């Protein structure tokens, strides 16, 4: 679908509907059939996997600034567990690498 | 056990969530900057934050934003990232089923990770007022939209985003959510995540554009489903 103001609006509305469905869906499903452990494991693993599936190609196709930035974020998260600090570390690393290279 | 929603409880929930909301402003700012860098207009960015109100999915959507919008991939990505809401909503069902359905869906519509966590704790303690879910959600929504507005204002004035590392915000945000997510970084997740990463890379090189997100999410989800149940859950 080519990007126009109208299709962008449509895409945003669709995203909003999909998200709202997930918000109310769990309660609706639960009122009929309880969610089993297998489905729960699928959803839990999928939640992280979709992020991995976005991040890995970013690293594979990005420049070294982007790669080192991601690495800095990973390191900062593992040590400090503070997302905002980790994101700032990633940005600073990418900016610094590009400044020096 | 019952549940009720009133103005007093909503205000109380709003106040309890307010300190945390300051952080949400910062994340909203990061999203606003990143969205402008990825070619969304100011209005589109603000509209997305107001209507979707789900940071991780919004950041991931930026990855798909280009000269064309792959609608199937966008729907699948949004669903896969937000599918955790299904589990969160299901866990609150025993509490929220005591509410009239209009109030129940209003509360669930405002449900996000942090007000859900507070609500789940309230329910455990035997609290009957569900105001923390609704009022806390309002606090989070306001700060998310406010932060986005600040980011849009700030991000629009920058001409060379790479120089300041602004182009990596999206990837770094998603990575920090992955590592520090609600599911504690248990080592059992490394298998599905590894499967997802390999599948996504293969799809990136051998399948049509934008298939890699769906392929990775499904491959990782299936790998997770086939894993043996974690030890501490065996008793259930």
pLDDT in tens, A23-77: 999 999 888 887 788 888 888 888 889 889 989 998 999 999 999 999 999 999 9
- Burial of A49 per CB tally in 10 Å (0-12, 13-18, 19+): buried
| Interface TM-score (ipTM) > 0.85 | yes
- Do the Cβ atoms of B212 and A90 come within 8 Å? no
- Do the Cβ atoms of B219 and A49 come within 8 Å? yes
Tell me the mean pLDDT in the region A9-16: 97
Domain boundaries, chain B: 7-164, 186-231
Predicted pLDDT at B74: 95
Report H helices in B1-130. 7-37, 42-52, 55-64, 71-82, 84-96, 101-109, 113-125
Q: At what angle do helices B131-155 and B42-52 cross, to 10 degrees?
A: 170
Residue B224 is nearest to which of A1, A23, A42, comparing CB atoms?
A42
CA distance A14 to chain B (A): 7
Predicted pLDDT at A48: 86
Phi/psi zone of residue B127: left (φ > 0), alpha (ψ -120 to 50 degrees), beta?
A: beta
Predicted pLDDT at A67: 96
Predicted pLDDT at B76: 93
pLDDT in tens, chain B (236 residues): 688 888 889 999 999 989 888 889 988 999 999 999 999 999 999 999 999 999 999 999 998 999 999 999 999 999 998 988 998 898 889 899 899 999 999 999 999 988 988 888 888 888 889 999 999 999 999 999 999 999 999 888 877 778 888 888 888 988 988 888 655 557 788 999 999 999 999 999 998 877 888 899 899 999 998 887 654 443 33
Predicted pLDDT at B234: 36
Residue B175 is nearest to which of A55, A91, A99, comparing CB atoms?
A55
Instruction: Report the chain A residue with the minimal C-alpha distance to residue B214.
Output: A50
Chain B residues with CB under 8 Å of A99 CB are: 163
- Is B178 within 8 Å of chain A by CB? yes
Chain B residues with CB under 8 Å of A80 CB are: none
Predicted pLDDT at B114: 87
Structure tokens at A3: 């990007």
Predicted pLDDT at B229: 63
- Burial of B72 per CB tally in 10 Å (0-12, 13-18, 19+): exposed
**What pairs with residue B68 in β-bridges?**
A2
Residue B23 is nearest to which of A44, A59, A84, comparing CB atoms?
A84
- Do the Cβ atoms of B221 and A84 come within 8 Å? no
Instruction: Report the chain A residue with the minimal C-alpha distance to residue B210.
Output: A54
Predicted pLDDT at B70: 92
Predicted pLDDT at B230: 56
- Do the Cβ atoms of A3 and B169 come within 8 Å? no
Instruction: Identify the three-state secondary structure at position A87.
Output: helix
């Amino acid at each position: 679908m080519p990007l126009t103001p109208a299709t962008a609006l449509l895409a945003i509305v669709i995203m909003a509907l999909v998200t709202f469905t997930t918000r109310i869906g769990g309660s609706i499903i639960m009122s009929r059939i309880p969610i089993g452990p297998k489905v729960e494991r699928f959803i839990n693993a999928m939640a992280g996997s979709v992020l991995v599936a976005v991040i890995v190609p970013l690293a594979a196709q990005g420049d070294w600034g982007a790669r080192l930035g991601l690495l800095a974020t990973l390191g900062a998260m593992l040590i400090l567990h503070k997302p905002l600090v980790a994101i700032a570390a990633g940005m600073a690393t990418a900016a610094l690498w590009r400044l020096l290279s | 056990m019952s549940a009720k929603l009133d103005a007093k409880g909503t205000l109380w929930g709003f106040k309890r969530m307010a300190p945390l909301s300051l952080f949400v402003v910062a994340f909203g700012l990061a999203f606003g900057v990143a969205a402008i860098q990825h070619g969304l207009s100011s209005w589109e960015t603000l509209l997305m934050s107001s209507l979707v109100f789900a940071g991780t999915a919004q950041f991931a959507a930026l990855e798909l934003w280009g000269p064309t919008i792959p609608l199937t991939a966008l729907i699948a990505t949004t669903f896969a990232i937000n599918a955790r809401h299904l589990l969160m909503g299901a866990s609150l069902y025993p509490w929220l089923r005591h509410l009239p359905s209009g109030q129940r869906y209003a509360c669930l519509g405002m449900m996000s990770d942090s007000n859900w966590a507070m609500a789940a704790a309230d329910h455990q303690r035997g609290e009957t007022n569900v105001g923390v879910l609704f009022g806390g959600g309002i606090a989070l929504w306001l700060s998310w939209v406010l932060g986005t507005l600040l980011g849009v204002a700030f991000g629009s004035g920058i001409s060379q985003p790479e120089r300041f590392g602004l182009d990596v915000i999206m990837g770094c945000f998603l990575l920090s959510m992955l590592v520090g997510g609600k599911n504690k970084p248990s080592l059992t997740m490394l298998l599905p995540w590894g499967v997802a990463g390999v599948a996504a890379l293969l799809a990136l090189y051998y399948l049509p554009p934008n298939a890699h997100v769906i392929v990775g999410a499904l491959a990782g989800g299936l790998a997770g489903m086939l894993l043996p149940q974690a030890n501490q859950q065996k008793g259930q």
